[in-house]
Each structure stands twice: as structure tokens, then as C-alpha cells.
Amino acid sequence: MSQPEVPHFPMIIGGQPVSSGERHEVRNPFDLSLVGTCPVGTVDDVDRAVAAARAAFPEWAALGDAARAHYCTRIGDVFQAHAGELARLITLEQGRPIIANGFGSQFELGGCVGWSMATAQFALDDRVVLEGGGVRAVQKRVPKGVVGSITPWNWPLLIAVWHLLPALRAGNCVVMKPSPFTPLSTLRAAELLNQILPAGVFNVVTGDGEVGTRLSLHEGIDKVIFTGSTATGKRVMQNAALNVTDCTLELGGNDAAIVLPGAAIADIAPGLFFGAFINAGQTCGAIKRIYVSNEQHDTLAEALAAIASGTTVGNGLEASSDMGPLQNAPQHAKVKALIAQAVRDGANLLAGGTQVGEGYGLTPAVLANCTQAMGIVAQEQFGPAIPLVRYDTPDQAIAMANASEYGLCASVWGSDPQGLAATGDALDAGTVYINTHAELHPLVPFGGHKQSGLGTQFGEEGLLAFTDSKIVYERHRA
């Protein structure tokens, strides 16, 4: 019996499919089976894509805001019509279950639809900033030009939408480079969207770090948006600085959760578990460390361990799977090493940390009695492992939570309104959650402090980040 042909997903440049001679294989991270192939793009492909975007830009920018808003709605309709196909592709290449209690790859497609529709609703109106004494000054928002987008592997299509939709709505054209670990859903989405978008408005080039470097260095790029690690983000920023290119960077996070004394542990444990283990912990804004009082440490640790022990890690295509694998070998090795080192340093592994399947599946690990000095607390583990650290006073917990180079998100859990508010105010993070974590909304601005990023996404503020201010200053003469 002949084997089914492995699907190939071409790049999209200037509205046309493009395939190079060399092909890159993408494998399912749970069982390492071959999912599909895509081209190995080159710096020449980047140059062609930027040229196509620059050629398309004048007409796209002149189209008008209302027409581009309508395109955003049409993009949402495309995602809705192809949600089943794209969700399955995300599961195959990223590993996340299709359903997973509502937060699997189907949820990711729902987010793509929601962000598309929300982006269509924002306003880019002119604003009179001065009028009187014979002078009138009007602030207009004009598109930057061509946006270079570099996306990660953890939420491959949703983050692509977070980059793409505000860029298009503001009047820019886009050249996108997806992660080589998860390029297929982005390539298929680009193929579908290019059926409704003018040629050259949305281009996708696949490849390794050389392609990303060329994109961030390119003199034809007017803005770079990057989501990924802080180390890579610094290199992107350095490259962009050579052309004084504007950047939006959403980087790493080592999000702290503080459980205040007297919290109802049974009530908050499920929310803490979800905040830590959403997408198998592979989310920048997931909880990475939990601070809990000496009196409640053991109770919370046991509650989280019980939830972890009842969580099924498996193939994302199977309905029984609550959690998928880590996406790639380096991340799998990193998380296993951090767990092992924490145990050697005195942490108690109450649940998880065992291999599942032939690929990168790992059961969710709960580690009690961790210390601030342990690597699994000090570093962003970005995987299914959560350390619990004891504290004597809430002030000590705040100090430990803030003692990080990161400042993406944080959360406070408890039942005392004054204590929740005061602790939230004291935390240094771009988003502070109260009795929840890892929730995002297209109308709510999102960005990090310190080395967690630069700039803002979402909401009207995020849309304006893809524009330049242009002032028309007029003096009326008698």
C-alpha cells in the first residue's frame, strides 16, 4: 500500500506560491511523525518579499481606513470558514490538543476570529490638538510602510494575527517570518488570506535565523514586531537600530503569583493550575512561580499536585488529552533539566515530570519547597513545571516577585480586597491580575516592563503603534 503524500506548504510572496529546492520537515512533537514540509527560505526571498510589499504599499495605504476595516472583517470570516482545518494543523505541528477544555487549538482559531473582528472596530480619526488665535493643528495617523513580523512557535497563528491585523488596518503591508518549528498553519493561512487581499500586502517567508536577521536589518522595513525570547529580541532590536527602525517587542516573562494569607485554597487552586499550565506552560504570560505563606504552602502544593495527577498528557488529536507535549527538543530538555536540578537542590517533586510518548510529552510537574535561588524559580522554564516558594510576610513575597529582570505579568490571589489591591499596586509588571491569570482581550492594551518587552499591543494603543503621527499645522491669515 502506497504511503499518503506528505503535504507541502509554499511561501507566499507577492500573492504567489513560492517553493525553493530545499525543503524543511515539520514533525508532530508528540510522536515525531512527519506533518508536512515547507521551503527553506533565503535572504533573497526576504528581499523579494520586501520589494513586493513596498510595491503594494501605496495602493493599500490609499485605500482608506473604512475599506481596510472591512478587510479585517473579511479576514475574520476566512478564519471562521477554515477554523477546523487550521486548528487541526496547529495541533499537528504545535502539539496542543484541539479541545483541551476549551483552550486548545480551536480556542486559538476563535481568538484569530475575535481579534480580526475587534481590530475592524477601532478608530483612526484625525484629532484637533490646537485651535485658536488663528492657528489650527490637526494630528493624523499615517501608516509606517512595510512591517517585518517575526513570530514564535507557542501560539503560531494567534500571535501572527496579533502582528498582522493591526498592521494591515493601519495601512501597512507585511512580510512575516514564522518559527521553523511551526510554520505550516501560518503558511496555509497566508494562502487563504491572499485569496482576498491584494497581491503583496501579506507575504510569508520561511527559514532559519538568517532570514530573521535579514528581515530585521532590511532597509526596506519600516517597523519590526517580534514575539519571542528576550535574548533574540535584543538582537532584533540591535539590528533594527542600524536603520532607526521602530520596534515592538513582546519578550520573555517569569510571571509570579502571590497567594495572600487566608486565601481559600480549594477555590483558587484550579485557577492557579490553569494559569501555570495553559498550553503546557508554553505561554509568555503564564504563571512561572508561586509564592505562598508558610501556613498554606503544603495545602496548596497538595491541591495542585492532585490536579496535575489527574491531567492526561497525550496526542492532541485524541479527545482524552488534557495537555499536549512540549513543542520541541531543546525546550523539552531544558524543562527536564530544571526539574532535575531543583530536586537535587532540595525541592520536593510532588507530581509529574515523567516522559509521555515518543516525542516531547511531559506530565505536569509540581515542585514544593523551592527557593528563590533555584534555576526553576529564577529562570523562565516555559514548560509544564511550577515551583512553590514559601514566604514569611506579603512584603517578602512582593520583594521576591519583583526580583527579576522580567516584568510581563503577575497575579495576586486571595479574599481581602484591600490586600489584593495593595499587593497588585506593588508588583512591577505590565499586567497585574487579581484572582485570575493569563487572560487577554483585544480591547485591553498588553505589554511588558523591564526586559519583558518594548511597546504595546492590543486596543487602540496597539493599533496606533503601527502608525506615525503627522501634524498639519495651519495659520489663518486675515
Q: What pLDDT digit, counting tens, does each position of 16-57 carry?
A: 999 977 999 999 999 999 999 999 999 999 999 999 999 999
What backbone torsions phi and psi does residue 259 show, to the nearest 5 degrees? -100, 115
Distance, CA of 91 to CA of 185 (rounded, Å): 10
Distance, CA of 106 to CA of 98 (rounded, Å): 6
DSSP assignment of 418-434: HHHHHHHHH--SSEEEE
Distance, CA of 89 to CA of 105 (rounded, Å): 9
Distance, CA of 171 to CA of 124 (rounded, Å): 11
3-state secondary structure of 39: strand
Say if residues 68 and 121 touch (Cβ distance below 8 Å). Answer: no
Looking at residue 1, what is its pLDDT?
46
What does the domain layout of the chain look like in residue ranges? 11-251+452-471, 255-440
Looking at residue 12, what is its pLDDT?
98
| Amino acid found at 120 | A
Say if residues 427 and 404 touch (Cβ distance below 8 Å). Answer: no
DSSP bridge pairs for 367: 349, 387
Say if residues 141 and 470 touch (Cβ distance below 8 Å). Answer: yes
Looking at residue 3, what is its pLDDT?
61
Model confidence, pTM: 0.97
Specify the CATH superfamily of domain 11-251+452-471.
Answer: Aldehyde Dehydrogenase; Chain A, domain 1 (3.40.605.10)
Looking at residue 457, what is its pLDDT?
98
Distance, CA of 151 to CA of 88 (rounded, Å): 19
The catalytic residues are 250, 284
DSSP bridge pairs for 226: 150, 249
Which three cell numbers mark 409?
505579568
Distance, CA of 19 to CA of 105 (rounded, Å): 27
Looking at residue 406, what is its pLDDT?
98
| Amino acid found at 212 | G
| Amino acid found at 130 | L
Q: Where are the alpha helices (DSSP H) in 293-405?
A: 297-309, 329-344, 375-378, 394-402
Looking at residue 99, what is its pLDDT?
86
Distance, CA of 369 to CA of 307 (rounded, Å): 18
C-alpha separations of 465 from 30, 221, 225, 246, 477 in Å: 38, 15, 10, 9, 35
- pLDDT tens for the chain, 478 residues long, are 456 789 999 999 999 999 977 999 999 999 999 999 999 999 999 999 999 999 999 999 999 999 999 999 999 999 999 999 999 999 999 999 998 676 899 999 999 999 999 999 998 999 999 999 999 999 999 999 999 999 999 999 999 999 999 999 999 999 999 999 999 999 999 999 999 999 999 999 999 999 999 999 999 999 999 999 999 999 999 999 999 999 999 999 999 999 999 999 999 999 999 999 999 999 999 999 999 999 999 999 999 999 999 999 999 999 999 999 999 999 999 999 999 999 999 999 999 999 999 999 999 999 999 999 999 999 999 999 999 999 999 999 999 999 999 999 999 999 999 999 999 999 999 999 999 999 999 999 999 999 999 999 999 999 999 999 999 999 987 6
3-state secondary structure of 459: helix
Distance, CA of 27 to CA of 151 (rounded, Å): 18
Say if residues 313 and 354 touch (Cβ distance below 8 Å). Answer: no
C-alpha separations of 250 from 23, 132, 156, 246 in Å: 30, 41, 14, 14
Instruction: For residue 103, give every residue at least 6 positions away whose Cβ sits within 8 Å of its Cβ, in sequence order, or none.
Output: 274, 278, 279
11-251+452-471 and 255-440, same CATH topology: no
Specify the CATH superfamily of domain 255-440.
Answer: Aldehyde Dehydrogenase; Chain A, domain 2 (3.40.309.10)
